Amino acid sequence: MALKKFRPLTPGQRFKIVVDNKDITAGKPEKSLVIPFSKSGGRNNTGKMTMRYIGGGHKRQYRLVDFKRDKQDIPATVSTVEYDPNRSARIALVNYADGEKRYIIAPNGLQVGQKVVSGKNATPEVGNAMFLSDIPLGTIIHNIELRPGQGGAMARSAGSYAQLSARDGKFATVKLPSGETRMILTTCLATIGSVSNADHNLESHGKAGRVRWMGRRPRTRPVAMNPVDHPMGGGEGRASGGHPRSRKGLKSKGYKTRYPKKASNKYIIERRKK
């Protein structure tokens, strides 16, 4: 996928870099797989703002994406590759042999007209969903389940992938995008290939207004606040702000917030890199 740069006819176009949309084959989503999507503006049920810097943004509709891939041993044909405003990756509309339509996360290299299938009888080809017990070692995978039947929870964003490195008994060892290596039950499903739209992280919005279209409001730097508003606020002149921490006083920049006795710690072989 190529990146598009613009001639600086306006100040907002000077630094604007976007991903070319040549891989997208349809403009409008499948009506049966779309539901309303309302925004909170960062307010709770009493109208009080509980999350700052959220509000506005373009109206969206939510696409129902099949993360479970539980329609097994029924082949499906890729009908379209579409843009999804709710995620960084592309989504693909697949038509099953029995007539049902579903959206899946589109892997890199998935073409319209291609056949995809999930289950025990699937082969390790791009877009197919297989159990970790059947996937060849060293294979690049995405949309990985953490618990059998839960649906894919890991490696779902644009360009991300994990690698199946080993199997021992009922557990498979997977190296995740964060650098963490952990054990996952071999009865969990994963999809072959890496996620599409790998150049997403190279995009540059070019202007503040484009960020507002996404529903993000301007964020005030803590060092510019008063002491009453933030632990890093106040001071004479341009004070540095002291130790980096959140508004509630929790340290950032390396302070571990994970519960040390968390039950899933025993499945983590190697922690993610700092």
The reported pLDDT for the residue numbered 256 is: 87
Report if residue 165 sits inside a domain. yes
Encoding tokens for residue 81?
């590759």
Report if residue 32 sits inside a domain. yes
Report if residue 174 sits inside a domain. yes
- Domain hosting 191: range is 17-200
Report if residue 194 sits inside a domain. yes
Distance CA 166, CA 134 (A): 12
Pairing of strands 129-131, 91-96: unpaired
Q: The CATH number of the domain where 80 resides is what?
A: 2.40.50.140
Q: What residue type is 84 in one-letter code?
A: D
Q: Which of 151, 131, 119 is closest to 141 using CA atoms?
A: 131
Q: What is the DSSP string of 102-161?
A: EEEEPBTT--TT-EE-BSTT--S-TT-EEETTTSPTT-EEESEESSTTS-EEES-STT--
Report if residue 237 sits inside a domain. no
Report if residue 153 sits inside a domain. yes
pLDDT tens, 106-143? 999 999 999 999 999 999 999 999 999 999 999 999 99
Count other C-beta atoms under 10 Å from residue 150's C-beta.
Answer: 12
Overall domain count for the chain: 1
Report if residue 230 sits inside a domain. no
Q: Rg of the Cα trace of the chain?
A: 22
Report if residue 224 sits inside a domain. no
For the chain, 274 residues long, give each residue's pLDDT as a single digit of tens.
689 999 999 999 999 999 999 999 998 999 999 999 999 999 999 999 999 999 999 999 999 999 999 999 999 999 999 999 999 999 999 999 999 999 999 999 999 999 999 999 999 999 999 999 999 999 999 999 999 999 999 999 999 999 999 999 999 999 999 999 999 999 999 999 999 999 999 999 999 999 999 999 999 999 999 999 999 999 999 998 889 999 999 999 988 888 999 999 999 999 987 6
Tell me the pTM. 0.91
